[in-house]
Structure 1
């Protein structure tokens, strides 16, 4: 049976769209190529523990709908306030502390946020969509089709995608685990300016609240582009830069690398979403700034617009 809306892409934007359609009484399904939903809020189980590889945190912002969702997540233990203070390292290694908005994280890993949104939604996981067109997915009737994915991925699904090409920055996320914590207890996360290899690092044990001696380090875009074909080749430089900045004498006990070819849009569109008859588009590129809250708001707004029609 054909549904009202078919969403292709199982990240936070796709499920925000699907829930908005369902909550308005429409029928919806989500198709995702991964084994489990998550998108760029993915967590990977390493040595029996989920590690956040994608978005490092989220900020609530001013959207009342997203604020209400976060309040619900907090009440049920799905999300928790993490920190309002990050370090900033300059090219010489000098450190300053910067206070800003509260950053939030998920105790069970960021994928838990998407899984919570996916509860009760018809999901077809592990399916690679090869063709999308107005009202059709892989040649079959699909109702209104929503592409909830980066533009370069969406463009592979068909000709005539009604949007200009978008530039996306790659990132290689490197997980470093030691036998014990070897960095200051008040280091939650840090931005790194001027380093050719790393741009951000997060204390994953502090972020998750379990104290695990794990850092997740995000490469610069230039470093990721150099190593997209072989992400493990980025590991030595990332480890060296991390140890130098944090004064860690010992090599990590284990290291893993994960490639994000389309990690973040270079220039968000400023528009909430793209809607055309039978084929629409949402995600963190459709807003004022690339962020988790932007992705949710884009999908939610598109879902409500589709349901209203």
Structure 2
């Protein structure tokens, strides 16, 4: 086992928005930090993927920022630099058989290059190692046999629990989290076949769908692309073979929006841990130099909460180390 040195980096595991927010808070306090992520690019559940020549948001659908939240400054900077754009404050509400009404809420923001681009912006200037799978985090703290000053696990508790000492209280707390799956099904047509002011649809009482986003509308390019998110129950039945769920999703989208034509193409992405069933009110957990953060904390579960959770843990770790 390597000896801990004074300049050993604090390790953040997970390059989603919570992990990078944590890392930026640490770096801002003068702490040497590295971020390890098993994916090819930063993003986490703010993932975008290029499909038919354009990025499509497959995870989080949008972000919000409370007026009194520090996150509002971050979002404002993204908007000023053209990385984010105000989208809408109005969505439709539907049942399985069609649209019912409109509902208004906070202003939602999208990203012309996909929400992943915002996470990648947070990674600027940080040491981020992609395609790096962490196997074990033990007391010390020790990450895969190397001692570090502290470690932050920015991921669903179900994943963090597999890295930690099973006998530890932190591991039991993490493993107790319940996370719900979803399938994100992308549907593309040759032309738009739904109302121009649809924006997005909350679907109630459906065994198939929870949400439909107009991806061309939120990204601002007008592409005839929808992204449908399934219910957890339907996703759970099709996690092993997600493509098998596509016909049922297509039929449900057509019914909700009153469309007659099938899409010209589809793409499905599986999220085994899409959102927490019961996010905690506390902003993070921290025990003996090992912390947990992300959208399982700082309820309610949303992008802003994940950012705030990571930032709060980063500040707490910096204070402890100082």
Superposition TM-score, scaled by structure 1 size: 0.97
Partner residue in 1 for 2:187: 176
Asked if 1:67 is matched to 2:57, the reply is: no
Partner residue in 1 for 2:266: 255
In structure 2, relative to structure 1, the CA distance for the partners of 1:180 and 1:94 (3 Å cut) is closer
Question: Matched residue of 1:307: which SS?
Answer: helix
Aligned residues: CA RMSD:
1.2
In structure 2, relative to structure 1, the CA distance for the partners of 1:161 and 1:29 (3 Å cut) is farther
In the alignment, is the contact (CA less than 8 A) between 2:216 and 2:225 conserved in 1? yes
Match of 1:266 among 255, 258, 277: 277
Asked if 1:107 is matched to 2:112, the reply is: yes
Partner residue in 1 for 2:98: 93
Give the C-alpha shift of residue 161 in structure 1. 5.3
Partner residue in 2 for 1:54: 59
Match of 2:218 among 207, 221, 224: 207
Q: Distance in 2 between the 1:91 and 1:249 partners?
A: 15
Partner residue in 2 for 1:78: 83
5+ residue gaps, structure 1, are none
Partner residue in 1 for 2:125: 120
5+ residue gaps, structure 2, are none
Superposed CA offset, 1:262-283 (max 9, x none): 0000101100000111211100
Q: Distance in 1 between the 2:27 and 2:267 partners?
A: 38
Deviating more after overlay: 259-268 vs 162-171: 162-171
Question: Matched residue of 1:156: which SS?
Answer: helix
Partner residue in 2 for 1:136: 142
In structure 2, relative to structure 1, the CA distance for the partners of 1:266 and 1:175 (3 Å cut) is same
Give the C-alpha shift of residue 142 in structure 1. 2.5
Give the C-alpha shift of residue 37 in structure 1. 0.5
Q: Distance in 1 between the 2:275 and 2:112 partners?
A: 23
1:226-245 matches, within 5 Å, as 226-245=237-256
In the alignment, is the contact (CA less than 8 A) between 2:294 and 2:309 conserved in 1? yes
Deviating more after overlay: 61-70 vs 284-293: 61-70
Give the C-alpha shift of residue 5 in structure 1. 1.2
Give the C-alpha shift of residue 233 in structure 1. 1.1
Question: Matched residue of 1:280: which SS?
Answer: strand
Match of 1:155 among 139, 161, 164: 161
